[in-house]
Structure 1
Amino acid sequence: MKRIIRHLAGATLPLGLAMLVLPVASTAQQVPAGQRAYDPDHADQFMWPEHADLLPPPGPARRDYARMLAYDARLFGTSAVLEYAQMFGQALDRGAKGYTGFNRFDHASNLARPGYGAFKTPNADTLYSNAWLDLTKGPVILEVPDAGDTYFAANFIDMYGNSSNISTRTRGSGAGRYAIVPLGWDGGLPEGTERFTVTTPYCWILLRVLAKDLKNPVRARKVQDGFRLEAPQAEAITPIATDFPAPETDTLGGFMRILDWVVRNAGYPSTETALVHRYRMLGVGRGAEAVTQAIEAPDLGAGAEAGFASAGEMISDSARLSGYPAGTWKTPADTGAYGYNYLYRSAIHTLGTGANVGIENYPFNTFVDADGEALDGAAHDYRMTFTSPPPARYFWSLTLYDAKTRELSPNPIARYLINDRTPGLKRNADGSLTIDIQHKPPQGGTSNWLPAPDGPFYLVIRAQGPEAPLLSGEWLPPAVRKEAAQ
């Protein structure tokens, strides 16, 4: 279905007309059989009122109404607010440690380690590069080098966390020049470039380049350095006037001011117009001053504070449940492709931003062992045995994270993962691979040891370029089992 991206600041980027009736197909997000949906822009009987909606009378009713709106707005907007905070630190705040500016790559020449600051739950298999694009003045050109046999994925993530890729999987390993444009761009493109369209005019590129040699990733660095960005050269379009709010994500006012900025400047799918329109009662879509006035109003502000806090607790609690059962593991199979699953989108972003689509990277995560009890390096030693490795075309890995920080866990041997390139692994007589997961070194040696913190942790399996047995559900991760006391 073709869509338009709406901007509440008054700019609309036309992309064709939505179909009058949504087709019934396999996707769970489309209208079920027997239900009809129509495009209000083509309905004479649907008209926009001249005035705002009613407010309930002062007192409990108004507080309840504001509570509901703020609860819903946090559920809808968490991914956008977290993406914005990341953009602010890298592209806007010149005093920030990771500041780079718009339309420039920050190539990290070393693999992620404990304390990695760009985002939570990073992998330790690939070199990362980050860039935030500002496409309001025209296309940005991405130059891709000839990567040879080195896997790469340039993951394009819009302001709501939706993903698409220029990668070894989608375009092969050859060199290319891509003109990155937002939906609705109808200007010319530089000669020798291929058009690549993203949904929002502010967009994050998270580049991953596989390091086959984890100790000395020289080849990966060479490929990484070949990725370059060229700022807009085309005639500038009129930018949307903007004042960037502070990245205060945990307060009602800070959150709503960011969400207001995003819906006015980055847009949203036209199918979400009615949903976003309701948040105008909280000032969202009417500017930062309107947000301040709304949340400081009697009853309205009190109710909104309660709803905002309650939604935050619910999202945090739900993050541990995110994904679909895969034995004792969960697989967030729809990462990067959320549709209208706002709680799932918020939960995934609470765990970490930058998730790719499942066909590029098929992940599993677990916070619990085979008995359903929380993984805790202070309480138990654990083992897991792979009878066969995750079926992945490019690479697989098992990575451990501290549950308190959502970061890689410091340890005496500086090992943060076991993967298909880990040297010295000892396999069992039948070819299976047993991994020791515990805080102290195993008595039998450290060749297969994945060190755990002295406290709660979680595990993530990544399968880059998943093969058919994984996509079909035929392959499942083994359970993490407690070791018997010695």
Structure 2
Amino acid sequence: MARETWARHAAHEAAVFGLPAVLIYRQMHAQAIDASAPGFVGFNRFAHGRNLAGPGYEAFKTPNADTLYSNAYLDLTGGPVLLEVSATNGRYFTANFLDMFGNATNISARTHGTSGGRFLIATTDWGGEVPDGTTLFRVTQPYMWILLRIEAEDDRALPVARALQDRFAIRSQGQTGTRRAFPRPGSLADVTSLLTVLDWVVENAGVRNSERALVHRFRGLGVGGPLSVAEALDDPRTLAGARQGLADAAMVIDRVKRQKSADAGGWRETFDPGRYGHNYLFRSGIHSLGTGANVRLENFSFTTFSDAEGQVLDGSRHEYVLRFESPPPSEFFWSVTVYDLRTQELVPNAQGKYLVGSNTEGLKIASDGSVTIRLSRRAEGPNAIPVPEGPFYLALRAQGPRRELLDGSWRPSPVRKEQR
């Protein structure tokens, strides 16, 4: 019984700590490792999404619908790669670098302007020569995810945005990475699969020095130790405890994902996703809602699952109105997007419309400077967004937040039921 209790607690901790790594590894495996997968391109190559995200978008949950996405997974075990950044001539872009645990940093319009450049992407232990005309950009792990976003305000902007995608390129420097055995990921509810992937990440991508003591506690489950996960879980008591620990963690992470903030009206500020420190529960909650979160200086975001009365947003029961006294203050653009609560995906609708924002054609701003957005299944007019016939949530994003967002003097108003 003691082994089962220990395994339950250890697996709970391991799942809370490791879920982001498992989610990102699953994406990496499909694009860079599994040659039979539909979207396979291999390491150190971009896979470009040529259309704006819509319902059924597969790469990750809760996607933007006003940027084109490109994804690349880097293998730096053989040395650095060169990233060529296209000049975008004022159009917003961000190359969001994420390690295997989702910690983020950027090469973007905000950090480096829109004139383009060449960047040598190298781990912190690399000590070679940097070519002339090239900027050294350090990353913390030999396996990294680049999530490239390029602004595309609507379908008419796609030719320009696609041309820019093609001018972003990754060049290897002639070296070959170390080939390792990559485990095939299974169900997130399978504790053996989850721990096996986490063990691979710990051994091959590494953890911060400050996390080594924590990870050492998982050795009895086969993570980072002499036993394999299969050997550790061959004991029935350990397996039973680990299964329950994973179920416990999944329940807690789901609650964290949905919890409301202290702000009135249910809007939850996502604090600083991409810089989680040691708040592993917050990190897992963010990643279970959607991987690829950016730092707040790049993308200041809020989510809400409820209206001003604390009731779950539900398109089968109500229509809603969201009124901002002034538009969200941003250097580049802002948007409010609707997602289905069950699938965490964009909502299919006849109009093919998923958001309202500063780039919305015909957006109406009142004479007092306010912006009113209507949320209904009919969604008539430029300031309206279709909602599903069931529970949904909203994401508000401001790309390049201004001071009023950063210092807290601007906050979104609550979503209210439309009075008929």
Q: TM-score when scaled to structure 1?
A: 0.83
TM superposition shift of 1:222: 2.1
**Could you tell me which amino acid in structure 2 is paired with residue 132 of structure 1?**
Y
In the other structure, the counterpart of 1:245 is 183
| 2:353 equivalent to 1:412 | no
* Equivalent pair of 1:322/1:347 in contact (CA under 8 Å): no
Structure 2 gap segments, 5+ residues each: none
Higher relative contact order (CA 8 A, sep 6+): 2
* Match of residue 92, structure 1, among 17, 26, 33: 33
* Match of residue 298, structure 1, among 233, 236, 241: 236
In the other structure, the counterpart of 2:376 is 438
**Could you tell me which amino acid in structure 2 is paired with residue 467 of structure 1?**
R
| 2:203 equivalent to 1:268 | no
**Could you tell me which amino acid in structure 1 is paired with residue 90 of structure 2?**
D
Further displaced range: 256-265 or 404-413: 404-413
TM superposition shift of 1:390: 0.4
Counterparts of 1:326 and 1:188, CA distance in 2: 53
* Equivalent pair of 1:323/1:333 in contact (CA under 8 Å): no
In the other structure, the counterpart of 1:286 is 225
Counterparts of 1:99 and 1:478, CA distance in 2: 43
Mapping of residues 454-473 of structure 1, within 5 Å = 454-473=389-408
Counterparts of 2:47 and 2:401, CA distance in 1: 28
Distance 1:456 1:179, change over 3 A: same
Deviations 1:77-98 (A, max 9, x none): 0111111111111111112122
Counterparts of 2:17 and 2:85, CA distance in 1: 34
In the other structure, the counterpart of 2:320 is 382
The percentage of counterpart residues that share the same residue type is 50
Deviations 1:230-287 (A, max 9, x none): 12325x57x3x63111112321000000000000000000111111111000010137
Partner SS for 1:299 = helix
* Equivalent pair of 2:189/2:246 in contact (CA under 8 Å): no
Deviations 1:101-126 (A, max 9, x none): 10000111211111111111000111
**Could you tell me which amino acid in structure 1 is paired with residue 215 of structure 2?**
V
Deviations 1:287-313 (A, max 9, x none): 7x6210111213111111111111111
In the other structure, the counterpart of 2:294 is 356
TM superposition shift of 1:478: 1.2
* Equivalent pair of 1:322/1:344 in contact (CA under 8 Å): no
Structure 1 gap segments, 5+ residues each: 1-59
In the other structure, the counterpart of 1:204 is 145
Further displaced range: 472-481 or 417-426: 417-426
Q: Which has the larger radius of gyration?
A: 1
Partner SS for 1:215 = helix
TM superposition shift of 1:192: 3.1
TM superposition shift of 1:323: 6.0
* Match of residue 423, structure 1, among 353, 361, 364: 361
* Match of residue 164, structure 2, among 196, 201, 223: 223
**Could you tell me which amino acid in structure 2 is paired with residue 310 of structure 1?**
D
TM superposition shift of 1:423: 1.3
Further displaced range: 363-372 or 424-433: 424-433
* Equivalent pair of 2:316/2:388 in contact (CA under 8 Å): yes
Counterparts of 2:219 and 2:157, CA distance in 1: 53
In the other structure, the counterpart of 1:477 is 412
Deviations 1:136-191 (A, max 9, x none): 01111100111111111000000000000000111111121111111211233344
* Equivalent pair of 1:363/1:463 in contact (CA under 8 Å): yes
Counterparts of 2:185 and 2:204, CA distance in 1: 16
Partner SS for 1:396 = strand
Counterparts of 1:72 and 1:449, CA distance in 2: 43
Distance 1:168 1:410, change over 3 A: same
* Equivalent pair of 1:98/1:118 in contact (CA under 8 Å): no
Q: TM-score when scaled to structure 2?
A: 0.96
In the other structure, the counterpart of 1:186 is 127
